[in-house]
Amino acid sequence: MIQLIHVSKWYDRRPALSDVMLEIEKGEFVLLMGPSGSGKSTILRMLIGEEQPDEGQLFVQGKNVTKLKRSEIPYLRRKVGSVFQDFRLLPKKSVFDNVALPLIVQGVSEKDIRRKVTEALRAVGVEHKRDQSPSSLSTGEQQRVCIARAIVNGPVVLLADEPTGNLDPELTGEIIELFKLINARGTTVVVATHNHHVMQQVNRRVITLMEGVVLPERAVPERVGV
Amino acid sequence: MRRLFYLVREAWANMRTNRMTTIVAILTTAFTLTCVGVFLLLYMNLQHAAGWLQEDVKVMVYLEDRLSRDGRLQMELMLKSDHMVASVLYISKEQALTEFRTQFPTDSQLLEGLGENPLPASFVVTLAPNFRSPEAMKEWVEQVQTMEGVAKVDYNQQWISLLSELIGYIELAAISVGILLSAAAVTIIGNTIRLALFARREEIEILRLIGATGTFIRIPYFLEGAVLGACGSALSLGILKVGFEVFRQQVQFISRFSGMEGLISFFPFSACLALVLAGMVLGFTGSVVSLLRVGEARA
């Protein structure tokens, strides 16, 4: 599903990623662990065409992201759902309208929008908040809305960058369970985090990054992130 | 349908969010387009006047007193059979004197002192529409002047040519002012759109990340630019209409120009529509200038 082949990236001559080789299978739930600045977010940004590697190739569902034309990138992003630490919800729109946005940009019919948004909101447990403004919701609920928006158009991959960064341990557990549920439905889930508790809760494959280098999976230190 | 509704609603939301900037943009666009409109209106009316005068231009062929009746009749026949001539009217010496007395009653005593009627007989010639250009007219006049029995040929083409020259200058001024002020309107609307983009940069970022194409992101701003341009243009037409009516009333009240108010006219409906459309195009251009790089730089 996802392949990174000898991917390197520099920012101002400082390496952000060095010769990264990575493969994530379809339907996997993977944690990208590592401290801040280790290159986790860079990988996620590359997977949605937000950044390009300086060297190497990057494939999502068989498509070489590094070779995509600018005009093709929006279509890649429609297959890859993104969840952000700061939620990035539009405060002037209702919960329903926020979740409907990816469907509107794709020109989905009114009837299907209503059905899909309702399903997504139900899946994350905030269906009863559909007419409220995001600012009236708790942080946990806002993150659920953000997840609903990411899954509403049935993406093949769900990317989450520090999705629990703003949440307390209890809410973190709830969000992780939500990701597990989404993964159980067949969506490949990649969560970038530096939170060691998340790793313990997920108990799935962990890819550890340290200063832009992927550590051998057997050599993962006990506590990397915190 | 929802997509279209969304795009229109976003354009409307942009204008509402930046209400003050929107109003300023409409007003300044209206002002600049009014300036262009004044020139266009002047140009259009002078063009009408020139056309009207050109239609009415008459050539006076004054005859020598010694020309016999037969010679005069022969000349009249020649003129009437000329394909460049539309009509010929003979004015005898007596008719000329009567007309002079009617038109200038106070000066008619001057002629009485002379004893004999000094006014010559003449032909008033109207040329066919195809031969009313200054060049054709000049050529015809030069030809007639050489005819036996013709004392002098007079026509009021000179000042019509001057008017045409003046219209040429106004046309040039209208084009220059039009280009300059249109560029100003494009810049003003472009800046308004840039402000709207800045105010909604986070939203644009989110739209990009969820897979919106550059076109989808740009459409509300294109709409906004076109609407601002159209509103500015419509407002400028309103200002011009009010100004025009005030001017027409003033003309009516000044006795010297009385009757001229019927000769001046405002833009016809089709021209008004064209001006609103031109405003829309200017606004749209302003948006395009501002949005050239949005959605592509980091697509």
Query: What digits encode the pLDDT tens for the residues A22-64?
Result: 999 999 999 999 888 889 999 999 999 999 999 999 999 989 9
**Domain residues of chain A, as ranges?**
25-53+67-215
pTM of the model: 0.70
Residue B136 has pLDDT above 60, yes or no: yes
User: In the sheet that A157-161 helps form, which strands lie side by side, from edge to edge?
Assistant: A80-84, A157-161, A188-193, A29-33, A205-210, A213-214
Of B207, B209, B214, the CB nearest to A82: B209
Contacts of A149 in chain B (CB under 8 A): 210
**Domain residues of chain B, as ranges?**
2-53+161-291, 58-155
Residue pLDDT, tens place only, A177-212: 889 999 998 999 999 998 888 877 777 889 999 988
By the CB < 8 Å criterion, does B205 face chain A? yes
The residue of chain A with its CA nearest to that of B299 is A70
End-to-end CA distance of chain A: 29
Contacts of B13 in chain A (CB under 8 A): 92
| Rounded CA Rg of chain A | 17
Contacts of B207 in chain A (CB under 8 A): 101, 105
- Bridge partners, residue A60, by sequence: A2, A63
Domain A25-53+67-215 fold = Rossmann fold (3.40.50)
The DSSP letter of residue B297 is S
By the CB < 8 Å criterion, does B207 face chain A? yes
CATH of the domain spanning B58-155? 3.30.70.3040
The predicted complex's ipTM stands at 0.86
What's the pLDDT at B168? 81
What's the pLDDT at B113? 67
User: Cα separation of A36 and B209, whole Å?
Assistant: 22
| Tokens 């067949």, residue located | A186
B9 pLDDT band (50/70/90 cuts)? Answer: confident
